[in-house]
A and B are shown apart, each in its own frame.
Chain A
Amino acid sequence: MELVVEVIGTTNNVLERLRFAKDSVRIGRGYSNDVILSDEHADVAHARLDIDEEGNVWLEDLGSVNGTRRRKGRRSVQREQISSGDIFLIGRNRLRIYFANHELPAAVPLRPLETFLLWLGRSPVIATLLVIYTLVVYLRAVNSTVGDFEWKSFLGGQATSLLSFGAIVVGVYLVSVLFRRSGNFLSHVSVLLFVGVLSIAVSFVLELATFNGGDHSYGAISGLNTGVGYLFMFLYMWSVLYLAFNLSNRARTILSVLVVTGSIGLETLTKREVASLFSVQRFPEQSTFLPQSLQFASPLSGDQYDERVSSVFDAVDELRTERLEEREDKLNTSSEQVEPSAATETLAR
């Protein structure tokens, strides 16, 4: 009978996979062993696997200093019968032992998203995405720059996105080295580029919608904008977790959702005025204007417009009441603060 011994690292990554066609396999730090461990906590001759006449597999500790333990046990194994797939701890390493007749599940077909992610990782795709991304950003800048186009100011304007892009690429590279899945490094870059191109497209569509829409649609558009942003974040997280970690799909999704919810919470905490964006419309001082060819909106008649106008006065009156209440509250709290200090002053005298 044959045995397969896997040496597993601290993050469940398989460091070594060995196959033996003999009845006895010796494990330890010494060079005479069949499985040689590079771990100072392992004995020179640490443990031994035996197959008896009936075909049962036994694990025997050879009186090691730190012992040989099962994954969920504190006591060291003396001589125990084991079954296929059992995991043992020797020093800092973990050993998984499979019998050759160990039953493996059928291969899981790739999901469309996974296929897509792997397809994104191909060099021609990456090159194409890179070209598209650069062209779009460049053409947009060239077309709307009034006056002479200068590379210096263009790159200056793109500095933030370039830096963050670089930071993510480096981060992903380090992660892939750490988890020894370096084969997928380019896939990360590709996913990043893909998300970038997609978000440029989406933000252009939203800009178009804001320009052509009226204030009634601003709330929805701005909500949509935020929503899409978080969706991209989720997609990117999920892809990173797929490409870099050995996790189940469920774990990947849960982690991504957690990260996105966390950042939503952070955003809401730091920007309290987010809520007010939905009620108070922006001052036209800031409004952007797009070329005539991008104007699709059907205009309201003057009368319809005026009907809307009269509602603003009521809205602003409500706002005034709110502000006055706030002011009153502020006055009350500040006078409350003054009184005790005046009292202590008298006491001190």
Chain B
Amino acid sequence: MRQCLRGISGGLHCLRSVHPATVGFRGSVDIFLGAIMFYCLNSASVCWRGARRLLFMLTALSGLFCASLTFVAHAQDASSVFENYQQNLFVIESFDRISNNKNSVGSGFTVGDGTFIATNYHVVADAVMEPENYAVRAVGLADQAIETHVVAADPIHDLAVLRVTVSEDEDATYPESGLALAETKPMVGEELVALGNPFDVGISVVPGTYNGELKKHFRPLIHFTGALNPGMSGGPTVNMNGEVIGINVAGAGNSVGFLVPVDDLKALLETVDETDATPGDVRDHFAETIRSHNNALIDDLLAGDWSLETFGPIRIPKVIREYVNCRGSAKTEDEDRRWTRSISDCRVADRLYLRDRFDTGPLEMQFTLLESDYLNATQFATVFSGENFQPFNRGGKEHFTEFDCVERWTVLPNLGEQRFKASYCVRAYLDFPELYDVLYVARGMPDGKTGLNVHYTLAGVGEDAASRFHARFLEAPEWN
């Protein structure tokens, strides 16, 4: 039970990473469907199977019903899409080899000659990282579990390719060929159909609209207007010709969903070779992939627009590129109006899922300004000491080393003589060689009434990219 929900929370995690503002609404949906799950998983496996079949039928029917209600003009299309391709759809279950219990559930679909199954990396992450403890099976329409193994994984685009392990079982039926992958991009407004297994209730059909690619995201992501829910991760979204446009990866509630463009899947499929072998050591390969991805991102940022905007006594960079999301709060006061605190916080929202409660991501830049006319110097220093800094990516002791820091007094290139106590802290990823998180903070008090924190965090970067960014970042802030 717990393991199963954890798998789904893996899906939830993806949702959160995209749009934190809608947590409230989505939360209520989760609780409702979670309750059904809880009942079924707790009562007995018999109940589970029966209920799943029943729920599958119900949702398939209700899906069709909804589709017919909402999209009268295309009702025929949506239902025929489901009819024609349902044999290509699978529930993907990652399970642990000892207890045989599933620990995450998602969706998948056949591609290529029909023996390859595409899904999200986050659905099968455990099996990729710990193949000795976890494996993946695909459950088709006939509730028949098919053994599979992972042949390619891409944490950047959150994709994985499985291959059906050929079994002796005579009854096992495989589709003759996989879903076709679209060659052209759809038009904005075009009707699409998302297929998947929301909340593990069974394969469902969700109609929706193509809304172009997200601008505020570094790696391309399709904005799909349709309800994507946890468990649908890894399922295909197809056009009315049944060609895959994208792979369901996350939803943000209120019918805002996100798809990985099919081109990224094509690129991954090209890396799959005949021997089915995963390329080298998966950890080294991941480290290399993440490093070069974030390297490219940092290079792109360095070539961006570093024009400065006013922030209290200094001027700082903000939206360097379109995909840098900045938010800020000007002069929030404490309860008794003793001091004010202003923040400018800019992030690149692309967060890379690695394992449950373990992710990495590109960066965060933060400037904090603390001002007070009321407090005396000692009191102000006490308040200023209370400011704390955390890495923004998640992970535990089993994933990282401790931070090691250099902490000295220094000056910043364009802030003159002002003294800053600067800490440069680095931690290494245990599983991924030469991949680091870097946390920098410079703290200074231009006078007894102003405190300034200059801070950035990089996650999942190599040493070179980190030092290039460091140099550029420190040059940026200037006195107003």
When the two chains form their complex, are residues B388 and A285 in contact, meaning their CB atoms are under 8 A apart?
yes
The distance from the CB of B448 to the nearest CB of chain A, in whole angstroms, is 5
Please encode chain B, from 359 to 391, with 1 for each CB lying within 8 Å of some chain A CB and 0 for all others. 000000000000000011111111111001110
Minimum CB–CB distance for B467 against chain A, Å: 7
Q: Contact between A306 and B470 (Cβ–Cβ < 8 Å)?
A: yes
Closest partner residue, chain A, to B411 (CB atom) = A299
Give the distance to chain B from A51, nearest Cβ to Cβ, in Å: 77
Which chain B residues in 399-449 approach chain A with CB under 8 Å? Answer: 401-413, 419-430, 433-434, 436, 439, 441, 443, 445, 447-448
B405 touches A285 (CB 8 A): no
Pick from A282, A299, A308, A317: contact of B419, CB below 8 A: A299
| Interface: A156 (CB within 8 A) | no
Would you give the shortest CB distance from B88 to chain A, in whole angstroms? Answer: 40
Report which of A292, A298, A309 forms a contact with B377, defined as CB distance below 8 A: A292
Q: Which one of A291, A299, A311 lies within 8 Å of B406 (CB-CB)?
A: A311
Q: Are B474 and A312 in contact (CB under 8 A)?
A: no
Query: Are A295 and B390 within 8 A (Cβ)?
Result: no
Residues of chain B lying within 8 A (CB to CB) of residue A310:
463, 467
Beta-carbon nearest neighbor of B407 in chain A:
A215
Whether A317 lies near B445 (C-beta < 8 A) is no
Q: How far is the CA of A37 from the CA of B420 in the complex (A)?
A: 78
A283 lies within 8 A of chain B by Cβ: yes
- B426 touching A313 by the CB < 8 A rule? yes
Indicate whether B338 reaches chain A with its CB closer than 8 angstroms: yes
CB distance from B115 to the nearest CB of A (A): 34
Contact, CB under 8 Å: A289 / B381: yes
Provide the residues of chain A in CB contact with B423, threshold 8 Å: 283-284, 287
Name the contact of A146 in the complex, choosing from B382, B404, B428, B443 (C-beta under 8 A): B382
In the complex with contacts A292-B377, A319-B401, A324-B430, A313-B407 CB distance below 8 A: no
The answer to whether the Cβ of B170 comes within 8 Å of any Cβ in the partner chain is no
Q: A206-226 toward B: CB 8 Å interface, digit per residue (1/0)?
A: 000001101110100000000
Most chain A CB within a 10 A radius of its CB, from B385, B401, B443? B401
- Chain A residues with CB below 8 A from B422, complex form: 305
Please classify the interface of chain A as helix (H, G, I), strand (E, B), loop, or mixed, using the class held by over half of its residues. helix
Q: Judge whether B336 is part of the interface by a CB distance below 8 angstroms.
A: yes
Chain A residues 257 to 307 lying within 8 A of chain B, measured CB to CB, are 280-293, 295, 297-302, 304-306
- A112 interface hit (Cβ, 8 Å): no
Cα–Cα, bound, A324→B401 (Å):
9
Shortest distance between the CB of A216 and any CB in chain B (Å): 8
Q: A143-B376, A289-B384 are in contact. Are A212 and B338 (CB under 8 A)?
A: no
| B389 touching A284, Cβ below 8 Å | yes
A313 touches B338 (CB 8 A): no
A320 touches B430 (CB 8 A): yes
Q: Whole-angstrom distance between the alpha carbons of A218 and B404 in the complex? A: 13
Closest CB-CB distance, A220 to chain B, in whole Å? 14
B419: A residues at CB distance < 8 A: 295, 297, 299
CB nearest neighbor in B for A215: B407
Using known A-B contacts A212-B409, A282-B405, A309-B424, determine if residue A287 contacts B385 with beta carbons closer than 8 Å: yes
How distant is the Cα of A304 from the Cα of B403 in the complex, in angstroms?
Answer: 21
Q: A299-B419, A327-B430 are in contact. Are A285 and B390 (CB under 8 A)?
A: yes
Given A143-B378, A319-B401, A214 and B426 contact (CB-CB distance below 8 Å): no
For A17-47 the 0/1 string (1 means CB < 8 A from B) is 0000000000000000000000000000000
Q: How many contacting A-B pairs (Cβ < 8 A)?
A: 153
C-alpha spacing A319/B428, complex, angstroms: 8
Scan residues 229-287 of chain B and give those whose CB is less than 8 A from a CB of chain A: none
- Which secondary structure dominates where chain B touches chain A? mixed
**Which residues on the B side are within 8 Å of A324 (C-beta)?**
430
A302-B411 contact, Cβ under 8 Å, with A146-B338, A324-B430: yes
B379 touches A146 (CB 8 A): yes
A window 124-161: CB within 8 A of B:
143-147
Residue of B whose beta carbon sits closest to that of A320: B428
Q: Interface size of A by Cβ–Cβ distance < 8 Å?
A: 49
- Give the shortest distance, in Å, between B382 (CB) and chain A (any CB): 5
Interchain CB contact (< 8 A) of A281 among B404, B430, B474: B404
Q: Do residues B379 and A143 form an inter-chain contact, with CB atoms below 8 A?
A: yes
A306, B406: Cα distance in complex, Å: 10
A316 touching B408, Cβ below 8 Å: no
Flag if A281 contacts B401 (CB, 8 Å): no
Chain B residues with CB under 8 Å of A309's CB are: 406, 424, 467, 470
Is A313 within 8 A of B436, CB to CB? yes
Query: Given A289-B381, A297-B419, is A319 in contact with B404 using a C-beta cutoff of 8 Å?
Result: yes
In the assembly, what is the distance between CA of A301 and CA of B381, in Å? Answer: 24
By beta carbon, the residue of chain B nearest A143 is B378
> How many angstroms between the C-alpha atoms of A126 and B401 in the bound complex?
52
Cα(A327)–Cα(B401), bound, Å: 12
Q: Is the CB of B421 within 8 A of A287?
A: yes
Residues in A neighbouring B439, C-beta threshold 8 A:
284
**Which one of B380, B412, B428 lies within 8 Å of A316 (CB-CB)?**
B428
Residues of A219-251 contacting chain B, CB below 8 A: none
Q: Which residue of A lies closest to B390 (CB)?
A: A285
**Which residues of chain A from 305 to 349 have a CB within 8 Å of any chain B CB?**
305-306, 308-313, 315-317, 319-320, 323-324, 327
Residue pair A284, B467 in contact (C-beta under 8 Å): no
Q: How far is the CA of A291 from the CA of B409 in the complex (A)?
A: 15
B residues in contact with A288, CB < 8 Å: 381, 385
B409 touches A283 (CB 8 A): no
Chain A, residue nearest B450 (CB) = A292
- Determine whether the beta carbon of A312 is less than 8 Å from that of B406: yes
Q: Nearest Cβ distance between residue A117 and chain B, in whole angstroms?
A: 35
Known contacts A281-B404, A292-B448, A323-B430: does B378 contact A144 (CB below 8 Å)? yes
In the assembled complex, the CB of B431 is this many whole angstroms from the nearest CB of chain A, namely: 9
Assess whether B385 is in contact with A289, with CB atoms less than 8 Å apart: yes
Complexed CA–CA distance, A315 and B474 (Å): 23
Check if B402 sits within 8 Å of A214, measured CB to CB.
no
Complex-state Cα separation, A297 to B408, whole angstroms: 9
Complex Cα gap A313–B465 (Å)? 13
A→B interface (CB under 8 Å): 143-147, 211-212, 214-216, 218, 280-293, 295, 297-302, 304-306, 308-313, 315-317, 319-320, 323-324, 327
16 extra interchain contacts, Cβ-Cβ under 8 A, other than A291-B448, A316-B427? A143-B376, A145-B379, A145-B382, A215-B407, A281-B406, A284-B425, A285-B389, A287-B423, A300-B408, A304-B410, A305-B408, A308-B406, A312-B424, A313-B436, A316-B404, A316-B426
Can you spell out 10 A-B residue pairs with CB atoms less than 8 angstroms apart?
A: A146-B338, A281-B407, A282-B405, A289-B451, A290-B381, A291-B377, A309-B406, A312-B405, A317-B434, A324-B430
4 A-B pairs closest in CB distance: A214-B408, A291-B377, A284-B423, A281-B405
